[in-house]
């Protein structure tokens, strides 16, 4: 945590579906999206001082692929993600909620102001675990205006109906 940076922080978590259903064109699209997000955020003057990025991948396992890191310190050409297993989206949403809570506490403990956190879910919307309760919790945080929760549907086989259940209603 850079205590010398005077900018308010914006914690951003990318939740990236790397399950087997994302193989082929979807994982290529996901990798391109990740690279584009990192490059555009790094190149934005305000964002480059404020955004702290965490990347959580989920398949059969949920993995914090990159803990919170200032966007200016993130590798601009990340290693390509690969696919495997089932879609543990519920567990990933739960871990993301816990990670945000911990990060905001670190800011508070160190007197660092912060912007509303962002959670960006990139998936084909086909969870295999108990996702309903964790999705409802994340959706409620967004509907209470405590986070910005964005869903990016990837691939031709997207389960749009499930994504509509996961994401907050748009105003």
Residue 111 has what DSSP assignment?
T
Is the pTM higher than 0.85? yes
Taking the chain (171 residues) in consecutive chunks of 10 residues, what is each chunk's mean pLDDT?
A: 82 97 95 94 91 97 96 89 95 97 94 94 92 95 94 90 88 48
Distance CA 4, CA 19 (A): 39
Distance CA 88, CA 132 (A): 12
| pLDDT at residue 22, as a whole number | 95
Q: Please, which residues have CB within 8 angstroms of residue 125's CB and are 6 or more apart in sequence?
A: 151, 153, 158, 159, 160, 162, 163, 166
| pLDDT at residue 93, as a whole number | 97
| pLDDT at residue 31, as a whole number | 95
* 95 close to 16: Cβ distance less than 8 angstroms: no
* CA distances for 155 relative to 136, 141, 150, angstroms: 24, 27, 16
Closest CA to 48 of 69, 64, 70: 70
26 by Cβ neighbours in 10 Å (0-12 / 13-18 / 19+) ranks as buried
| pLDDT at residue 154, as a whole number | 93
| pLDDT at residue 117, as a whole number | 96
**Cα four-point dihedral sign 63, 16, 147, 52:** positive
The H or E element that residue 53 is part of is strand 51-58
């Amino acid at each position: 945590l850079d205590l010398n940076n005077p900018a308010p922080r914006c914690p951003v978590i990318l939740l990236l579906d790397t399950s087997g259903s994302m193989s082929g064109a979807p994982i290529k699209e996901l990798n391109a999206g990740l690279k584009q997000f990192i490059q555009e955020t790094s190149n934005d003057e305000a964002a480059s001082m404020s955004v702290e990025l965490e990347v959580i991948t989920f398949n059969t396992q949920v993995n914090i692929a990159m803990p919170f890191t200032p966007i200016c310190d993130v590798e601009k050409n990340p290693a390509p993600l690969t696919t495997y297993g089932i879609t543990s989206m519920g567990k990933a949403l739960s871990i993301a909620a816990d990670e945000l809570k911990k990060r905001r506490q670190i800011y508070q403990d160190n007197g660092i102001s912060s912007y509303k956190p962002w959670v960006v879910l990139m998936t084909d919307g086909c969870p295999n675990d108990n996702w309903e309760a964790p999705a409802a919790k994340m959706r409620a945080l967004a509907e209470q205006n405590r986070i910005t929760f964005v869903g990016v549907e990837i691939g031709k086989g997207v389960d749009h109906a499930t994504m509509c259940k996961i994401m907050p209603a748009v105003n």
